[in-house]
A and B are shown apart, each in its own frame.
Chain A
Amino acid sequence: MKLAYWMYAGPAHIGTLRIASSFKNVHAIMHAPLGDDYFVMRSMLERDRDFTPVTASIVDRHVLARGSQEKVINNITRKDKEENPDLIILTPTCTSSILQEDLSNFVKRASLESKADIILADVNHYRVNELQASDRTLEQIISFYLEKASRDHSLKIQKSLNPSVNIIGITSLGFHHHHDLVELKRLFQDLNIEINHILPNNTSVNQLQSLPQAWFNFVPYRETGLLAAELLKKEFNMPFIDITPIGLTQIEFFVKKIQQILADNDIIRDYTMYLNTQRKYVSQSAWFSRSIDCQNLIGKTAVVFGDATHAAAITKILHQEMNIHVIWSGTYCIHDSLWFKQATEKYCDQVILTDDHEFIGNLIAKTEPNAIFGTQMERHIGKRLNIPCGVISSPVHIQNFPLSYKPFVGYEGTNQIADLIYNSFTLGMEDHLLELFGGHDTIDNKTYGSSIKSQDEKQVLWSLEAKQELSRIPRFIRGKVKKNTEQFAQANNYSKIDLKVMYEAKEKISG
């Protein structure tokens, strides 16, 4: 048993559901107790206009006693008829996995009766987390459809005429994934490379047989897609790129790697001119680093924490591109420690591998950086310690699904990140200066004082109990409640406000 207050990565089934619900026309059925279908928050976080294609086959007391029997099968065949999905993924949860029901048998029997393909998500709830499970599920679906296609000879292995790529790992509830995707499309268009498929994002599983047509695969985020890319490499000898094009330096590595893959296929392209133009004119961040603004950032310290992809990328940018001293850089993707260590150790004093937020909180307090780049949790730690924080990675909040265009990858991404970094530091500076010069000079201004002096100086008293009650009202409306209650008391000639007067005022003042 482990005492836990907060987790950076969710349970395994969330990963499976993120993959399933990102494909087009794929339905997930969770074998789960009531309330475990909390994944439906997708419609809130992503403000999705469609119903999330996830339902539950409820495990209740009866199931516990007798087993699911026909229930799971009925739920699968019912969903098959109602929604006509191409694929149904039966998703075990931590609860159902210890019941040790023969779910694969249910899948077998249900597939006899349904038009949809049916598979059982193969993830161990006590060994893998959300990210590892998403990686595995994506591989599982791809492998299922490639085998199917190979059986009925519909596999398309002929390479496309022009160079083309599969982008693997764009999922729902991914950190800025959909903005990144727009930027990636633009980048590949500029490089004159066609996009064969984007997985799993809104792609139909019936298109998967043409995955091998692409010249190479690209995995933008390490957390999801590497297993699939390795599978495709093994089966079809497709090379893949796992360099994340976040930051100018990484973009150049990424593009050079493409250039090399093309050269291996006897296509000689030189992207040097393109890179120069983009760096000079599209991205402002190289110039920004030279501008005198950025001189102020020299010697400033930062700490970085997040998933492996984003934490590593931001660490490199801070160190290489903005000359900021990174005291430590860390990730909660402990399963990917080796890669993370190699990727970041040159760019920071210390590499941290942990999924314990309290450890991170203490470390931040101890190292006292000028700015934090982390997840929502680090943002709150920063609030507590009065250190500014830029959010660079999941876990996500609704505010991490901005309406405006905010990619992290590509050239526009470099602009966004430069703003994010610069704003985090200047805000900290501004606060510091304000404090140094005695704060906002308006703080004692009359508007903050008592609200009733304007009324003919007749003072209204508050009883002790009423005062306590007032203090329980949330701060942002307390002033209004105080003012309204006092006006109400005066209008009714009450000399003292006690609880009764307070409640009476609440009942009688409308709006």
Chain B
Amino acid sequence: MTLSTDLSFTFECETGNYHTFCPISCVAWLYQKIEDSFFLVIGTKTCGYFLQNAMGVMIFAEPRYAMAELEEGDISAQLNDYNELRRLCIQIKKDRKPSVIFWIGTCTTEIIKMDLEGIAPKLEADIDIPIVVARANGLDYAFTQGEDTVLAAMSQRCPHKNLSLNTDNTHQPLIIFGSLPESVTKQLTLELLKYNITVSGWLPSAKYTELPVIREGYHVIGVNPFLSRTATTLMRRRKTKLIGAPFPIGPDGTRAWIEKICSVFNIIPLGLKEREQEIWNNLQDYTKLIQGKSVFFMGDNLLEISLARFLIRCGMIVHEIGIPYMDKRYQGAELILLQKTCEDMKVRIPKIVEKPDNYNQLERIRDLQPDLVITGMAHANPLEARGINTKWSVEFTFASIHGFTNARDILELVTRPLRRTVNLQASENSIFSQTY
């Protein structure tokens, strides 16, 4: 996979002073996705406080997650890590009976160099339950990259051997990686089946005990732009072939994703273009609302390139794509599609700002006065108070946005602040349509 050299992107890298969620937040959606798992975050009160507040009401639903809260004795190594973790894991095993315990390493375990990877195999043998270690810390990663560290660790645990051979495949086995709600995985699986492509398995599966078989030579493809480490691990450690494609976000992305898979398997996707067009036709009431409007991505979840590409196709003007981390190889096909989309829509390719500086971005937002800013909640209310429409970026990571079926949901999110503003203006009451 090489990136063609004629890409005319401007990549910038700022100071990295930006707001985003800590990557340990991935436990919030992963414990729901992997039904027989338990996530143990080994960290401090700070980590616990973040999860408690970020997860909102979910925290009251007896989640299958807990903090192993480090105390002063742990930091100064007066207590033995192995014994401490053993005690907690035995309790978890007894109370919750999970099929797997994930250990999420944090900043603190990094700094005190707690050897989680070393302890896990011993303890696993000792108490007879799989322990998977992922270092999802804020020293190295942002927000959704937390899932990447977990899936990379999990891909090492996928079985090598098939018990029952299914031979009816007309193509090499295909594994899709990326955590999506069950209904979305079903939708994408059915979508591919229309072109005679069978999905052999998903990483992660709904249960840890049902992880897919991955063998040398299998094809793998990602559904999310933040899964670079997982892709690398699958290629290097599991000897699979990565299909580099744009991500199935928006009807354009979904078609490109399917097309790429088909081309690898020498299948001609009959009716795919028509299918995409049909979806676009159904989106017209929303696309009409945003055509010609401008949007600014402050950047905090790595979905930004794909979303920007889709919104440009919808007729929006993108001022800036802020992004925490840009893997130009893993996102190569997505970048090419972004460039092509800009050419087709006759707009300039937006500037891509890696590790943005929120303060500088706010200055640029002040100058540009975009119609919509996609941002974290630190800035949303203050920007609204200054008369700028905002959409809270985290919602894009929790809503279903993949595939043809959910294209409407993306636009539902994007247009909501604009619809609100239009409604308030239409109320003919100046009280509600002014800045505050």
Contacts and interface: CB of A to CB of B under 8 A. Distances in A.
B48 A4 contact: yes
B75 A508 contact: no
A480 to B, nearest CB: 15
Interface in A1-31: 1-7, 10-14
B23 interface: yes
Given A3-B67, A59-B107, A38 B53 contact: yes
Contacts of A82: 359
Contact of B44 (A11, A47, A127): A11
A126 B141 CA distance: 25
A94 interface: yes
Contact of A38 (B54, B59, B88, B110): B54
Contacts of B110: 64
Given A11-B45, A469-B183, A510 B408 contact: yes
Nearest to B73: A1
Contact of A51 (B49, B74, B88, B382): B382
A38 B20 CA distance: 8
B434 to A, nearest CB: 13
Interface in B1-51: 16-17, 19-25, 42, 44-46, 48-50
Q: By CB atoms of chain A within 10 A, which of B45, B87, B137, B279 has the most?
A: B45
B23 A35 contact: yes
Contacts of B141: 34
Contacts of A33: 22, 107, 137-139
A334 interface: no
A58 B17 contact: yes
Contacts of A377: 60
A126 B75 contact: yes
A148 to B, nearest CB: 29
A33 B46 CA distance: 11
Given A35-B143, A125-B44, A48 B111 contact: no
B67 A4 contact: yes
B84 A44 contact: no
Given A35-B50, A41-B377, A51-B379, A61 B67 contact: no
Given A34-B22, A510-B408, A2 B69 contact: yes
A383 B24 CA distance: 28
A52 B378 contact: yes
B202 to A, nearest CB: 16
B327 interface: no
A44 B381 contact: yes
A20 B182 CA distance: 45
Contacts of A49: 381-382, 385, 436
Contacts of B21: 35, 38
Q: By CB atoms of chain A within 10 A, which of B17, B69, B282 has the most?
A: B17
A152 B379 CA distance: 40
Interface in B63-92: 63, 65-72, 74-75, 79, 84-85, 87-88, 91-92
Contacts of A47: 381
Nearest to B189: A499
Contacts of A14: 49
B142 A1 contact: no
Contact of B381 (A4, A11, A48, A507): A48
Interface string B157-198: 000000000000000000000000011001100100000000
Q: By CB atoms of chain B within 10 A, which of A11, A37, A93 has the most?
A: A37
Contacts of A472: 182-183
Contacts of B54: 38
Q: By CB atoms of chain B within 10 A, which of A1, A33, A34, A55 has the most?
A: A34
B46 A94 contact: yes
Given A55-B359, A64-B111, A7 B49 contact: yes
B285 interface: yes
A56 B182 CA distance: 37
Interface in A297-314: none
B140 interface: yes
Contacts of A109: none
B16 A58 contact: yes
Nearest to B74: A1
Nearest to A35: B22
A5 B67 contact: yes
Contacts of B277: none
A55 B66 contact: no
A122 interface: no
A127 B187 CA distance: 51
A95 B111 contact: yes
Nearest to B382: A51
B341 interface: no
Interface in B182-232: 182-183, 186-187, 190
Contact of B79 (A1, A34, A61): A1
Nearest to A34: B138
A430 interface: no
Contacts of B423: none
A266 interface: no
Given A99-B111, A469-B183, A3 B377 contact: no
Interface in B350-386: 359, 362, 376-382, 385
Contacts of A499: 186, 190
A405 to B, nearest CB: 20
A294 to B, nearest CB: 32
A6 B142 contact: no
A453 interface: no
A64 B139 contact: yes
Contact of A126 (B24, B71, B92): B71
Given A35-B21, A51-B382, A499-B190, A1 B85 contact: yes
Contacts of B362: 51
A40 interface: yes
A43 B436 CA distance: 15
Nearest to A49: B385
A506 interface: yes
B405 A34 contact: no
Contacts of A11: 44-46, 48-49
Contacts of B380: 43-44
B404 interface: yes
Nearest to B52: A6
A44 B183 contact: no
Given A38-B53, A95-B108, A126 B72 contact: yes
Given A1-B69, A36-B50, A40-B377, A510 B285 contact: yes
B226 to A, nearest CB: 14
B69 A4 contact: yes
B345 interface: no
Contacts of A52: 378
B311 to A, nearest CB: 19
Contacts of B359: 55, 82
A50 interface: yes
Contact of A503 (B42, B187, B278): B187
B112 interface: yes
Nearest to B88: A3
Interface string A465-495: 0000100100000000000000000000000
User: Nearest 5 CB-CB pairs, A to B?
Assistant: A35-B22, A40-B378, A33-B138, A49-B385, A11-B45
16 contacts: A2-B67, A5-B67, A11-B46, A11-B48, A34-B141, A35-B21, A36-B138, A41-B53, A43-B382, A50-B385, A64-B110, A383-B60, A500-B190, A507-B279, A507-B405, A510-B285
Interface of B: 16-17, 19-25, 42, 44-46, 48-50, 52-54, 59-60, 63, 65-72, 74-75, 79, 84-85, 87-88, 91-92, 107-108, 110-112, 137-143, 182-183, 186-187, 190, 278-279, 282, 285, 359, 362, 376-382, 385, 404-405, 408, 436
Given A5-B59, A38-B49, A38-B54, 18 more contacts: A2-B69, A3-B66, A4-B48, A7-B45, A35-B24, A35-B25, A35-B138, A41-B378, A43-B382, A49-B385, A98-B112, A126-B75, A377-B60, A469-B183, A472-B183, A500-B190, A506-B405, A507-B279
